[in-house]
Amino acid sequence: MKFRLFVVIAIIQTIVSACGPSQPQLAVKKIAVAEELLAKGDTTNSLLHLDSISLLYPKALSEARTAVQISNRVNVSRLMLQRENLAKANLVIDSLIKEFNPEKGEFDKYTYYIHNRQGIDKTWSRSFVQVYLNEKGDLTLTSNYYGGQWINHNLLSIEGEGLSAKTDSVPIDNVNNHHSEFSGSKWEKVTYRGEQADKVIALIAANSDKKLKSIFRGKSSYIIWLEESDKKAIKTAYDLARALKVKIASEKVIPLLEKKIKSEEE
């Protein structure tokens, strides 16, 4: 009796499945969805749909080959774009890096690049704003004060016509707020990193052709106009940092795309 019931259920399931769409038909629908996603610019989800076809519908052999062909076209396009980005980034790096001096201390993890215009020989006896970067493209902003009296500043703001940005505050007792004194002269150097510092750097870089006022704020305020040479150095550091970021990202993605295309073709 149980055997007969099992046979009846099996027959019913076979009839129901026969009435439904076949695997090739389902695969065609999934390919259509993937192409719609591509048209909308959603490459990631489109590839997920395409890559799942051979697993979900093993009987849809022709459709699986079509899915692979579409995936390969997408990945080849992405690969070509990444190679183009890398080539452009390398051109920028080769053009700009000659303007920087590389430095790496005994305990530094990365090499740092300081613009030739802002080396110690050109800056030790003046107040100025400095930007330098490491080999990963991470930027660091500093406000350097030189004078006869302490101002104990802990924040930097940049202002121009219709423009303003400021860093986060760095406490006086913080390791990034450095004070020194020699022969009656006072030096204060405050180092800023993070989102607010990046906004200040970006503002200077985007407006390097304009008059920009730098305000060292703390116990008392100290105001200077950014010198043309410093604005140019900051913009160059910003452009070099962006190119290094693109280079690193492209060099990471390119081998993955190459492997992806090869595995799909096999």
3-state secondary structure of 170: coil
What are the tokens at 143? Answer: 């406000």
What are the tokens at 228? Answer: 């043309």
Q: What is the pLDDT of residue 5?
A: 45
Q: How far apart are CA 47 and CA 34, in angstroms?
A: 7
Tell me which DSSP letter residue 166 carries.
Answer: E
Q: How far apart are CA 177 and CA 211, in angstroms?
A: 27
| Closest residue by Cα to residue 213 from 127, 116, 150 | 127
Cross-strand partners of 155: 217
Q: How far apart are CA 63 and CA 198, in angstroms?
A: 49
3-state secondary structure of 261: helix
- Whether residue 8 has pLDDT greater than 80: no
Select the highest-mean-pLDDT range: 5-9, 20-24, 36-40, 121-125: 36-40
3-state secondary structure of 179: strand
What is the average pLDDT across 252-264? 85
| Closest residue by Cα to residue 54 from 40, 44, 68, 33 | 68
| Closest residue by Cα to residue 240 from 205, 209, 207, 208 | 205
- Whether residue 3 has pLDDT greater than 70: no
Q: What is the pLDDT of residue 16?
A: 44
Beta strand 128-134 with 139-147 is: antiparallel
Reported in sequence order, the residue ranges of 37-184 that DSSP labels E, i.e. its strands, are 100-103, 112-115, 128-134, 139-147, 153-160, 163-166, 177-182
Q: What is the pLDDT of residue 107?
A: 83
- Whether residue 123 has pLDDT greater than 80: no
Reported as a single tens digit per residue, the pLDDT across 193-221 is: 999 999 999 999 999 999 999 999 998 99
What are the tokens at 226? Answer: 């950014």
Reported in sequence order, the residue ranges of 18-148 that DSSP labels E, i.e. its strands, are 100-103, 112-115, 128-134, 139-147
Q: What is the pLDDT of residue 225?
A: 97
Query: Kindly report the CA angle at 117 between 224 and 214, in degrees rounded to 5?
Result: 15
Residue whose pair of structure tokens reads 């997408």 in the numeric block: 74
Mean confidence (pLDDT) of the chain: 90
- Whether residue 72 has pLDDT greater than 50: yes
Tell me which DSSP letter residue 260 carries.
Answer: H
What is the average pLDDT across 126-132? 96
| Closest residue by Cα to residue 75 from 248, 252, 263 | 263
Which strands make up the sheet holding 153-160, listed edge to edge? 163-166, 153-160, 213-218, 222-225
Look up the pTM and report it: 0.83
